[in-house]
Amino acid sequence: MASSDALLPISAREEDPLCPYTRLPMADPNQETHGRRRRPFKGLLAVSFGLLFIAFYVALIATHDGSRSNDAVIDETKTTTSRARLAGVSEKSNDGLWKLSGDRNTPAFEWNNSMLSWQRTAFHFQPEQNWMNDPNGPLFYKGWYHFFYQYNPNAAVWGDIVWGHAVSRDLIHWVHLPIAMVADQWYDSNGVWTGSATILPDGSIVMLYTGSTDKAVQVQNLAYPEDPSDPLLLKWVKFPGNPVLVPPPGILPKDFRDPTTAWKTSEGKWRITIGSKLNRTGISLVYDTTDFKTYEKLDTLLHRVPNTGMWECVDFYPVSKTAVNGLDTSVKGPDVKHIVKASMDDTRFDHYAVGTYFDSNGTWIPDDPTIDVGMSTSLRYDYGKFYASKTFYDQNKGRRVLWSWIGESDSEAADVQKGWSSVQGIPRTVVLDTKTGKNLVQWPVEEIKSLRLSSKQFDIEVGPGSVVPVDVGSATQLDIEAEFEINKESLDKIIRNASVVAEAEEFSCEKSGGSTVRGALGPFGFSVLATESLSEQTPVYFYVAKGKDSELKTIFCIDTSRSSVANDVVKPIYGSVVPVLKGEKLTMRILVDHSIVEAFGQGGRTCITSRVYPTSAIYGAAKLFLFNNALDATVTASFRVWQMNSAFIHPYTEEAFRALTRT
């Protein structure tokens, strides 16, 4: 092959492109030197260009493969699933807004400080200002409930994350404490992220949390109280040997976060699980440890579900099949089921499933694989705005308590103007629904009743198509417990009448048009944060309809589509089917606290949290209504409405501390 020699004529030619004659290559006796100069030259040129080309191509492919190694894995599965994911469910969408802003009749809404300051909640946990997200390391210790949270000390949007801290005697009245952990080590300099506490048998606390390192790698770190005799746990020490866990082989450096509370295995080791993903499969990794400093990764995963994406904030805990108390995280046995819960990064929904845990190999399988964790059909703690939730076992009262981050549904400009963003849901107890055995039941902690002030009882029969004002005075801080009964005649008409078409399976809160769309047996319920003229209102309601099996199905919804005339807030209609067993009346509980409305259907079988931003249904102008939009059924509502006091959450002062210590 004349390869390298062939290059010489080209360079020679480049030096003198105008010269029609080739300069002879130096000492190459094989080359013919006369008569055939042009033709062999052209041949050589063609060959050499071709080879250069190939060499170039090869070089590029080699470097191309190197730089794309991470993306190659994603790209393979991207084409089939990407459309669904990109179509996407983040509820904030500027598509809807384009339509509105293009409409000349709805000018942009201008928020004033009065409207914005009304939005702040009175009895939900929130820091004095700035951004908050995930609940972290909740625990009970030496007489105090501790709550930590992801906090941005500098802005009302996510960023610069550190651990905020607060304490309470009763999960309701909180005192803000100084920041517990800041980003002061190389292994968490880019963020002190979510983590969980484990209380050891001797009462001491270990905290595991995710740090984003100075190279933005997600690692797990160990921390513990500096002074275990301080009931306020003001200061924390980070283990000098951190990180205790780094992303294992096969797991990307940014897919490894949110370690759980540990539980004891039958071998006497501690076990934790950490969510991650492999391509689009959500997974939960399992590690065993004896000292929380060195870990052994199990070869098996706790669980995996394809096409669910990254699993954040995994939670894993036992629930009793028979009793209504909570269980310590280490409990196992025949009377116990285990819950696996994960927060789906793709959809911002928290999903859980009930299943069986196998301690021998650290695996878990769902009772019903058709509603496995993260599938669109799988159960959710809450069908509204509710994410990154975390439970803890409250050994003080023998219950399992659930915290959750409730973000804003407004524009970031509003958050910046009002100076804060996000609240926590009211802590809820969580138990297995012993009547159905298939789902959890949640209920606001008992202690919230301490906020109840005066109340009024009502018994009202509401005819079809009517709206009844409920006079309770101020209507921005309320606790409502209600029972509804549809008149038997109307029910029978629907069940017995074969010509009435089954519609329950087709009905969805989100897609069936909201509370104004009338059916035979609904919707009916309350309209909260409503103006006198109903120009703004937030209906919370039941919709009862015939199912395919001719049995009645009940759906529970919150319709925020008319909660505000502002066009820069998100106003979805949330909800889901709620199981109603034979003989049960329809019950709902609603907590109204300014810009948050939390609703509990059938004792907490189906829960919905929503954020609303009325512009005129605020302060004294906010009213409460009872309504029945059914076409011909009459509904009887029996309910009590309490005025709710503020929880007066405030920063630490000597006085506040003393006051709390007295209770």
Partner 1 sequence: MKMMKVMMLIVMMMMVMVMVSEGSIIEPTCKETPDFNLCVSLLNSDPRGSSADTSGLALILIDKIKGLATKTLNEINGLYKKRPELKRALDECSRRYKTILNADVPEAIEAISKGVPKFGEDGVIDAGVEASVCQGGFNGSSPLTSLTKSMQKISNVTRAIVRMLL
* Interface ranges with partner 1 (CB under 8 A): 13, 17-18, 20, 45, 49, 52-53, 56-57, 60-61, 63-64, 67-68, 70-71, 74-75, 78, 82-83, 85-86, 88, 90, 92-95, 97-98, 100-101, 104, 106-110, 155-160, 190-191, 212, 216, 218, 253-255, 309-310, 345-346, 348, 411-413, 415-417, 567-568
**Could you tell me if 293 and 222 are in contact, meaning their C-beta atoms sit under 8 angstroms apart?**
yes
Instruction: Say if residue 138 is preceded by a cis peptide, omega within 30 of 0.
Output: no
Nearest approach in angstroms of CB 135 to partner 1 is 16
Residue appearing with tokens 């076409």? 631
Q: CA-CA distances (angstroms) from residue 434 to 298, 352, 586?
A: 33, 17, 18
CB of 273 to partner 1, least distance (A): 19
**Phi, psi values for residue 270, rounded to 5°:** -95, 140
Cα–Cα nearest to 224, from 271, 292, 313, 286: 292
Give the nearest distance from C-beta 86 to partner 1 in angstroms.
5
Of 601, 582, 590, 487, nearest in space to 542 by CA: 601
Of the pair 46, 323, the CB lying nearest partner 1 is at 46
Count the neighbouring beta carbons within 10 Å of the beta carbon of residue 561. 15
Number of CB atoms found within 10 A of residue 213's CB: 20
Pick the catalytic residue: 16, 103, 134, 335? 134
What tokens were used for 383? 């069908």
The pairing of beta strand 205-212 with beta strand 218-225: antiparallel
- Cα dist from 8 to 12, 17, 30, 47, whole Å: 6, 14, 15, 13
- Is the distance from CB of 608 to CB of 588 less than 8 angstroms? no
Backbone angles phi, psi at 412, to 5 degrees: -70, -25
Pairwise CA distance, residues 643 & 18, whole Å? 97
Min dist CB 386 to partner 1, Å, is 15
Q: Which residue, 337 or 390, is less far from partner 1 as judged by CB?
A: 390
**Distance of closest approach, residue 17 Cβ to partner 1, in angstroms:** 8
- Answer yes or no: are the C-beta atoms of 253 and 218 closer than 8 Å: yes
Sequence-ordered strand ranges (E) for 91-217: 130-141, 144-152, 162-168, 174-181, 192-199, 205-212
| CA atoms of 486 and 432, how far apart (whole Å) | 28
Token readout for 658 is 């003393």
CB 625 within 8 A of CB 470: yes
Nearer CB in complex with partner 1: 56/619: 56
Closest CB to partner 1 among 350 and 568?
A: 568
Nearer to partner 1, 55 or 453 (CB): 55
Least distance (Å) from partner 1 to the CB of residue 582? 42
Nearer Cβ to partner 1 (66/268): 66
Q: How far is the CB of 108 from partner 1 (least distance, A)?
A: 4
> For residues 506 and 541, what is the distance between their CA atoms, to the nearest angstrom?
17
The dihedrals phi and psi of 661, each to the nearest 5 degrees, come to -65, -25
Looking up tokens 């098996």 gives: 300
Instruction: Give the type of residue at 502.
Output: A
Q: How far apart are CA 93 and CA 398, in angstroms?
A: 42
Nearer to partner 1, 72 or 581 (CB): 72
Which among 119, 100, 125, 110 is positioned nearest to 617, based on CA atoms? 119
Q: To the nearest whole angstrom, how small is the minimum distance from the Cβ of residue 159 to partner 1?
A: 5
Q: Which residue, 104 or 658, has its beta carbon nearer to partner 1?
A: 104
By C-beta, is 72 or 200 nearer to partner 1? 72
User: 134 catalytic, yes or no?
Assistant: yes
Please, what is the minimum distance in Å from the beta carbon of residue 440 to partner 1?
25
Cα dist. 444→3, 393, 588 in Å?
A: 81, 15, 12
Residues noted as catalytic: 134
